[in-house]
Amino acid sequence: MTLILAAAHQAGWLGQAIDLSVEWLLANAQGLFDLIKVSVLALVSVTEMVLEWPPAWLFALITAALGFWRVNGGFALFVLLGFNLVLAMALWSEMIATLSLVLTASSLALLIGLPLGILSARSRLVWRLVRPCLDLMQTMPAFVYLIPAVMLFSTGAVPSILATLIFAMPPVVRLTHLGIVQVPDDLIEAGRSFGCSDRQLLWKVQMPNAVPTVMTGVNQTIMLSLSMVVIASMIGGGGLGDVVLRGIQQLDVGMGFEGGIAVVILAVILDRLSQSFAGRRGSSLQQRLRAWIALWRSS
Amino acid sequence: MQSEISIKSVWKLFGRSSAELVEQLRSGADPEELHASRGVRAAVQDVSLEVRAGEIFVVMGLSGSGKSTLLRMLNGLISPCEGEVTVKGCSLNSMTAQQLAELRRHQMAMVFQSFALFPHRSVLENAAFGLEVAGMPRKARIDRAMQALERVGLAAEARKRPRELSGGMQQRVGLARALALDPPILLMDEAFSALDPLIRKDMQDLLLDLQAEHRRTVVFISHDLDEAIRIGDRIALMQDGRLLQCDTAQRLLHHPANDEVKRFFRDVDVASVLTVEAIVQPPPHLSVCDVGEPLPDEGGVTMYVTDRLQHFRGLIRPGLGWVDMAAIKTLSTGTSVKAAIDVVATSAEPVPVLDDDKRLLGVISTRQLLLAMEAGD
């Protein structure tokens, strides 16, 4: 099978160059990769430990309470019923594993993406460099990231998280940049006229005004993380993706759907909760729509 | 009076400007042509002005006349291509960014046409913004901001968000944000232009009240001549980036430098601009008497009587004798001619005009009133 594929298509000169550079990295920067591997592994293990600590009923209650506070009663009910279904399908520990992968990957993506977005908004040069990278990251088929991730970090949670990180980072960078850039000129002028330094302008005028847009980016990053984490089960990421993958491999429609439904439940809960932090309650959908329209216009 | 802000032959070109282009304009090149051929717009051309401490200085012109650009050069938001802006004796040209920020924090505050309030801050936090930027501790700046809000009558709205307020109230917040800093200089960029006429008048009154309490130097941009005349101690008229004339409203009206200035004032209600002291005439017959009741004069004319220090005491009507000033209608300085019409028309003799110390400046007759109003048209 592999032989036939190799005969049908040999990597071209560009592919060979990329092969070579990955090999060079493997040969010369193994220490760095080991360090990254260990720290990401530690991070995801701690996250998983924390999430696994409460029993399922307590976890569901806490999430429902959060949902009641941030969204509404109907959503809290959905959380309880949804988690109940996951438990009934015996997919609880898989869901927790997926959740910890998502949380680790998206918090790393935010840790890098937010400062990068701010920097892009403040310097035209940085934006000119960052923008094509973001385009590349967003349009490259998600599966492609899996190959170098496996080569550099072998299989397991760490390459899954890193591939997810790259896939999920663009929205938060883009929307942070957009949010800051689209702050009305008269507010900037007002800030300047009262003697703001560049730093004061950023933290007292631009960032507070950009928060709804930035939070939309955060929401998108979390959602993309979830979709990528499922795909990353192909390289041993584990969790709900595994269930779906097994369903495909064994042509077991029922199993595939069970995994799929659990992913959907998790997605809805993550989406509504992260959205609720995007601004005023109740208007977040409209706000999100507006931010997206603005985003497409700008790019 | 010392000048607080001075502008010396300032030029500002937008687009790809250069010293050579300024030179071309200076030697009489047509700005329109330059705009068409080089894409350069001459916003401010060779403007020189002195703003005195404590006056309301109105820069008046139609949109596109360069007045807003001129205002932004006063606090360095826009820097001139050529020329110099000096505030309290310090040239802005040589200031570092840090010095400029300090100048904006302590010397001048700006009020905007679009209000430019921060939507994420409460009214109180908006008012405290300037103090926060200047690094004042939280407690102190909240107190100061609250005082400023009280002064503009918005203490009750302190916890609200700006968008919950009406336009007029929002601009009061904008004014409070500037006042909280207690700056010696206020820059107001068409501050009242976006408001309804009635609210606008209220805001003008508020500004005049504030000036009466504590005189600041106010540079006020406006495209509304009535507003300029109402609040301005002096008015600078601008057109197409050039300064046409700078003087008091009365002098602009009576001694226009050119036809463009005249055109501005064509539709102005002269009677509301002119004040009585501009048309006052010396009394035809004057007698000085310090005490007691002066003797009736036999000449058959109205005699105006003052003491030796020119304080008005009363007058002698022919055939009727002495009338004390308490029984006579008088006009005080600063009254508009319009407001004087009624008094003058219903008075038997020319009406005496008194200054604040009740000294007799002269009299106004019906004839003079009519002549003055005719001269303006």
- Residue A105, both tokens: 């990957």
- Tell me: pLDDT of B10 over 70: yes
CA dist., res. A100 & res. A5, Å (int): 36
- Are B121 and B68 members of one domain? yes
pLDDT recorded at residue A3: 45
Tell me the pLDDT band of B220, cut-offs 50, 70 and 90.
very high
Beta strands across the sheet bearing B360-364:
B331-332, B351-354, B360-364
Tens of pLDDT, residue by residue over B336-374, are 888 888 888 888 888 888 888 888 888 888 888 888 777
Strand partners, B108: B185
pLDDT recorded at residue A283: 47
CA dist., res. B143 & res. B180, Å (int): 9
Mutate to test the interface with B, among A189, A193, A198 (most CBs of B within 10 A): A193
Residue range of the domain that includes B214: 51-84+91-268
pLDDT recorded at residue B28: 76
Tens of pLDDT, residue by residue over B109-154, are 999 999 999 998 999 999 999 999 999 999 999 999 999 999 999 9
**Least CB–CB distance from A190: residue in B103, B105, B116:** B116
Phi then psi for A51, rounded to 5 degrees?
A: -70, -30
Cα nearest neighbour of B102 on chain A: A195
**B190 by DSSP, 3-state: which?**
coil
CA dist., res. B122 & res. A66, Å (int): 27
Q: Which helix (H) or strand (E) holds B176?
A: helix B167-179
CA dist., res. A216 & res. A220, Å (int): 6
* Section B290-306 average pLDDT: 75
Question: Where along chain A do the CATH 1.10.3720.10 domains lie?
Answer: 18-53+92-298
- Residue B252, both tokens: 């602009």
Tell me the pLDDT band of B298, cut-offs 50, 70 and 90.
low
Q: What percent of chain B has pLDDT over 90?
A: 34
CA dist., res. B304 & res. B282, Å (int): 10
CA dist., res. B165 & res. B168, Å (int): 8
User: What CATH number is associated with residue B208?
Assistant: 3.40.50.300
Contact B134, B169 (CB under 8 A): no
How far CA B124 is from CA of A76, A210, B129, B178, in Å, comes to 36, 21, 9, 12
Tens-level pLDDT at each residue, chain A (299 residues): 444 444 446 678 888 888 888 888 888 888 888 899 999 999 999 999 999 999 989 999 999 999 988 888 889 999 999 999 999 998 999 999 999 999 999 999 999 999 999 999 999 999 999 999 999 888 888 888 888 888 888 888 888 999 999 999 999 999 999 999 999 999 999 999 999 999 999 999 999 999 889 999 999 999 999 999 888 888 888 889 889 999 989 998 899 999 999 999 999 999 999 888 776 544 455 666 776 676 666 65
Residue B3 lies in a domain: no
Contact A267, A223 (CB under 8 A): yes
Phi then psi for A33, rounded to 5 degrees?
A: -65, -40
- Are B180 and B129 members of one domain? yes
**Least CB–CB distance from B109: residue in A184, A194, A197:** A194
The B-side interface with A (CB below 8 A) comprises 75, 77, 97, 101-106, 109-110, 112, 114, 116-121, 129-130, 132-134, 177, 181, 187
End-of-domain residue from the set B268, B301, B316: B268
- Residue A49, both tokens: 């430990």
Cα nearest neighbour of A188 on chain B: B116
pLDDT recorded at residue B293: 73
Instruction: Say what the ipTM of the complex is.
Output: 0.76
Residue B234 lies in a domain: yes
User: Which of these CATH numbers, 3.10.350.10, 1.10.3720.10, 3.40.50.720, 3.10.130.10, describes A18-53+92-298?
Assistant: 1.10.3720.10
- Are B208 and B282 members of one domain? no
| Cβ partners under 8 Å of residue A262, min gap 6 | A85, A86, A89, A91, A94, A95, A240, A243
- Tell me: pLDDT of B377 over 60: no
CA gyration radius, chain B: 25
CA dist., res. A117 & res. A182, Å (int): 13
**Least CB–CB distance from B133: residue in A187, A204, A209:** A204
- Are B347 and B244 members of one domain? no
pLDDT recorded at residue B179: 92
pLDDT recorded at residue B186: 94
pLDDT recorded at residue B300: 74
pLDDT recorded at residue A149: 84
Tens of pLDDT, residue by residue over B239-289, are 888 899 999 888 888 788 888 888 888 777 777 777 887 788 888 888 888
CA dist., res. A79 & res. A85, Å (int): 10
